[in-house]
A and B are shown apart, each in its own frame.
Chain A
Amino acid sequence: MKTQIPPSPEPPVEIPRYWRTLGEREETPEARKAAHDEFLPGAVDVADLPAPSEFSRRGFLGLMGGAAALAATVACDRKGQGTIVPYTRRPVEVIPGVANYYASARQEGRRAYSVLVKTREGRPIHITGNDEHPGFKGKTSPRTIADIMGLYDADRLRAPKAEGRPLAWAEADSRMTAALAGAKAAGKPVLLITGAVASPSRKALFADLKAALPTLEHLAWEPVRGDGAAEGARAVFGTDVEVAPRLEKAKVVLSLGADFLSGEDPEALAAFGAKRRLSEPGQATNRLWVLEGPLSITGSNADQRFPVRPSRIAAVAFALAKALQSRGLGLPAGADLSAVPAGVPQGVDIPAEAWKNLVNDLASARREALVLCGAEMSAEAHQAAHLLNAMLGSQALELRAAEPLATVKDLDAAMQGMAAGRYAAVLLWDVNPAYAFPRAQAWKDALAKVPFRAWMGLAEDETAAQCQLLLPVNHWLESWNDFGSGELFILQQPAIGALYDTRQGEDVLLAALKGLGAAVPADYHAYLKARWQKEVYPAGSPVAFERYFEVALHDGLVKDGKAAPAPVFKGATLAAAAKQALAAQGGDLELVLVPGFATHDGRYANNGWLMETPDPVTKMTWDNPLLLSVADARRLKLNDGDLATLTVDGTTLRVPVVLQPGQAKGVVTLALGYGRTTGEMAAGKGVNAFPLMALDPAAPNLRSGVQVAAAGGSKPLSRTQAHHRLDGREIVQSWSLAEYAQEARDRKKGPELVTLYPDQEFPQHKWGMVIDLAACVGCSGCMVGCQSENNVAVVGPEQVTRGREMHWIRLDSYYEGDVDNPKVVHQPMLCQHCDDAPCENVCPVNATNHSPEGLNQMVYNRCVGTRYCANNCPYKVRRFNFLEYTADKVEPESLIYNPEVTVRPRGVMEKCTFCVQRIEDGKIRAKGEDRPLQDGEITPACAVSCPSDAIVFGDLKDPNSKVSQLVKANRSFKVLEELGVKPAITYLADLKNPAIEGGQHEL
């Protein structure tokens, strides 16, 4: 639904406390109607359904009778009878019907995730975090869960190709060897560009290649990892660093545009969630301050948030350092802040009282304070953040020296080298500069001048189109590797043999090494093992290496205990950085380019699960609109969905706009990773924002002097923020700590609900769930986990625009307060499994009914699609298959399905089942082992995928279960309890800890 901004900026007399859209806040007639209607107007249109039949009822009945007779006749034929044989030769590892689990690992940028892969009949079908990992503890990121889709991507290249024709690996190897040997003989450089090197074995392989081919030049490039962070770290530490927050040790956290709760870092989310799950008002918690331009997930969880333009973040950080200096915190040697004026910097709208509170918080928490700076921020901002942590002596972060990453400037230099004919050959491995380099066309022109161009990757992309030799590589679920250094090594092992005629990238390089005359092991598995035996296996260990390696593969990791020394802070460059920071101005409008939640840098743009998961803040799917503050939109006369031109330094893009509450005035935001030209799912979705990136490595993601103007016309937005609204009732509860104390003291009990229905009886179990809104950060991990576990269909942007998305669990975001800087509450909403479920008694065919264990269950083959149940559900959690989303799925896409969950056809209603297949599995296991079910043994996919442990599931009949205890908590409430439907899900109120009013002043 398109939100119309009312002409007057004056607020109405009464603003609802919690609102989801601007229209709802202003209570426009459209918003009222949307709240009242069950579906969006387009959702139930029958225009796209087939035309009604011309047959009469009599004719239809005649045909039915005839068809039935024919079917009966045909059914008497025994010819079609066969025997189902699951395997003619069953692999020893595979038992039909029994899942296998493999510990493995996956890399994204510098981060490696230790995971557990569930396979059924040899197919990986679900990913969770590795429960043996001391940090992840069974949790992982939404993109990691969804990346299983990459394995079954129909667009994967299935065999080597050259000049558009398939060729054998032997020929590909000989071409590669000839090119490299030719370059070596001629003494000409060979350029290898890869992603970040996080694997010590891969690093060793690169060193071996360099030894065999001295002219090799290697660049490790991650287009959205933030060159400013690298430049800032190099300035103050002399090396690249990796910053790992240790939030469990932090009382006060200050984010300078850092989105550390985005879901990428499950360890951070777990530690943050643990500090927020209060059972009593007086318990110790933390306080999160956020200063940022665009509203991020982290900002939406802030206790105190102030919109600050990114161009002023560095100035703010230096001003804070100055204020801390005046509070007696010493400056590191060499640091000089004499040029920095005291107080809030010019152009920054932070009230004096709040500034004082922030300085007080940091100064009093000292070693228990932590400052984090966003990857998109400038190098000066990163230097200032490192300075603040050094002054505070923060114990709440770990700094580790990291392998250097190439900046956009390094890529530019390489491009100029290619254009000048410097390189004999270029190898591009899992990188896509023809799409993600800001000057993509110049890159393509330069690359065309290199005599030999080889590409290694999963699916042909924009860069592959520029290369002669295309070498398809294994997905990580088909690969070997290792990650980490010092304290902990994690291992990647295949969970399935290669699906196609592909090779692991390292094996391609090993073949090249062999071709160059080096003595190398037969394959990368052998190479990895040999290196582990030499480098990782403890000398003098009583355990044989083979056994040691087997145990490491079983666990997925090895703890080594050798921590690397932390880099030393040097303050010599700070005075110049402070001067630059104070002078920085963003102009009338400034642009921040952020990695797409779904797409990252574009590598996941072909992943339907991710593309259809609404962005946790904007709730946008399949597209990257330009985000504007409401004030700027008013000034530019733009509404949601209007098309605008965005011009930066001569480059213009035409984009739809979204009015984002909480966005700083004068700041516009565009997500990267969209606008791909290849990939069935990715092509044509959104616009490519990489051409807007600067070539200045100090802050390539920040652009000043941006122009935005109405372009005329509009685009329907596939945005779910206004979908499934619950009509005008108090749905969420968010309290300050003072309110919590008051509620805990004298909480009003509602009137006792009276029902005409007899109480349901649950003889054995009564399943229930508790969701802690204080711990939930809105990362959407639960949505992706549920989609993977329950075969939830991807419907595409047009259907999402009509409100027909199929997610069984959704993340509702409610705003509270001022439109320029609202508080945000995230609320996971799923089937509440009501005891007196209003959906059950309206189903004419009893397709939805109640189980003896309290589950509101669906019998899909009974459902005739009346949609009465959805109409009668007060929580709007039922999803109808308006179209056939699954029947056309063939291998490899169909291999992703969980065989324990029915794939639903068109015309059927579906919804959350509390992962009934997991409940049954747990019960069968317990029965098989002749023991009672243990509390916590059964966990639905959403709870497993929640990094902050906000979702707890269990048996309400067991008074000692965790869920039974939490239901009685003093923060508990049920959504729409007044309806008397007796939901099985209890929510715990969100908590905010502001410093000014009602917060916890003494931390």
Chain B
Amino acid sequence: MGTSNRREILGRLAALVAGPLLLGRQAVNVAFRAGKETPPEAPPAEAPARLALTPPTHSVKRRG
């Protein structure tokens, strides 16, 4: 009895966790489906490194 109940509960728990996980993965797969033709506005493959911005030396600011 106890075993069957535990099995049932475990099964339900597994379904509760796995269901959303699998559905979520499916959703992700839909959004980023492999082999889909790259749209013209697709971002570049790798993002370049951030540029280091340095303040100007010797300049005198008007206000700020």
Chain A interfacial positions (CB closer than 8 Å to B): 48, 50, 53, 55, 62-67, 69-71, 73, 91, 93-95, 98-103, 116, 119, 121-123, 478, 493-499, 525, 550, 553-554, 556, 883-885, 887-888, 890-892, 895, 906
Contacts and interface: CB of A to CB of B under 8 A. Distances in A.
A367 B57 CA distance: 49
A499 B51 contact: yes
Given A71-B24, A496-B55, 17 more contacts: A63-B30, A64-B27, A65-B20, A66-B22, A66-B24, A101-B62, A102-B56, A103-B62, A119-B64, A121-B53, A497-B54, A525-B58, A883-B41, A884-B41, A885-B41, A888-B41, A906-B41
Interface in B3-47: 19-24, 26-28, 30, 39-44, 47
Contacts of A62: 23
Nearest to A498: B54
B2 interface: no
Nearest to A154: B48
B49 to A, nearest CB: 8
Contacts of B51: 499, 891-892, 895
- Which of A70, A119, A884, A891 is the most central at the interface, judged by chain B CB atoms within 10 Å of its CB? A70
Contact of B55 (A55, A122, A895): A122
Given A71-B24, A553-B59, A888 B53 contact: no
A891 B41 contact: no
A550 B58 CA distance: 9
A553 B60 contact: yes
Contact of A888 (B19, B23, B43, B60): B43
B59 A495 contact: yes
A884 B39 CA distance: 10
B47 A890 contact: yes
Contacts of A102: 56, 59-62
B48 to A, nearest CB: 6
5 contacts: A50-B39, A70-B20, A493-B56, A553-B59, A895-B53
Interface of B: 19-24, 26-28, 30, 39-44, 47-48, 50-51, 53-64
Nearest to A526: B58
Contacts of A55: 30
A556 B26 CA distance: 60
A543 to B, nearest CB: 15
B22 to A, nearest CB: 7
Given A93-B55, A99-B64, A895-B51, A890 B44 contact: yes
A102 B39 CA distance: 41
B38 to A, nearest CB: 11
Instruction: Choose among B30, B40, B56 the residue with the greatest number of A CB atoms under 10 Å from its CB.
Output: B56
Contacts of A123: 53
B63 A496 contact: no
A493 B60 contact: yes
A89 B29 CA distance: 41
B47 to A, nearest CB: 6
Contacts of A883: 40-41
B12 to A, nearest CB: 15
A809 B62 CA distance: 30
Nearest to B25: A70
Nearest to B21: A70
Report which residue of A116, A121, A553, A890 has the largest number of chain B beta carbons within 10 angstroms of its beta carbon. Answer: A890
A372 to B, nearest CB: 34
A802 to B, nearest CB: 14
Given A102-B56, A496-B56, A883-B41, A116 B61 contact: no
Contact of A499 (B48, B53, B61): B53
A121 B40 CA distance: 32
A888 B53 CA distance: 21
Nearest to A891: B51
Given A73-B20, A884-B41, A887-B43, A494 B56 contact: yes
Contacts of A887: 41, 43
Given A63-B30, A496-B54, A890-B47, A550 B60 contact: yes
A496 B53 contact: yes
Contacts of A554: 60-62
Contact of A63 (B23, B61, B63): B23
A494 B59 contact: yes
Nearest to A95: B64
Contacts of A63: 23, 26-27, 30
A123 B28 CA distance: 36
A67 B60 contact: no
Contacts of B19: 66, 69
B24 A69 contact: yes
Nearest to B59: A493
Given A63-B30, A888-B42, A101 B24 contact: no
B17 to A, nearest CB: 8
A890 B24 CA distance: 29
A100 B27 contact: no
Nearest to A494: B56
Contacts of A65: 20, 23
Nearest to A499: B51
Contacts of B24: 66-67, 69-71
Contacts of B30: 53, 55, 63
Contacts of A497: 53-57
Nearest to B27: A67
A91 B55 contact: yes
The 5 closest A-B pairs by CB, nearest first: A66-B23, A70-B24, A497-B54, A100-B64, A69-B20
A66 B20 CA distance: 4
Nearest to A91: B55
Contacts of B54: 91, 122, 496-498
A100 B53 CA distance: 14
B42 A94 contact: no
A498 B56 CA distance: 8
A887 B50 CA distance: 16
Contacts of B56: 102, 478, 493-497
Nearest to B43: A888
B55 A66 contact: no
A794 to B, nearest CB: 13
B58 to A, nearest CB: 6
Contacts of A498: 54
Given A101-B61, A103-B62, A496-B53, A69 B47 contact: no
B48 A890 contact: yes
Contacts of B26: 63, 66
Chain A CB within 10 A, most for which of B42, B50, B58, B63: B58
A93 B61 CA distance: 9
A891 B20 CA distance: 37
Nearest to B29: A63
Contacts of A70: 20-21, 23-24, 27
* Residue picked from B26, B27, B43, most chain A C-beta under 10 Å: B27
B20 A888 contact: no
A895 B52 CA distance: 11
Contacts of B64: 93, 95, 98-101, 119
B20 A101 contact: no
Contacts of B47: 890
Nearest to A118: B64
Contacts of A66: 19-20, 22-24, 26-27
A891 B63 contact: no
Nearest to A99: B64
A127 to B, nearest CB: 13
Nearest to B53: A122
A698 B44 CA distance: 50
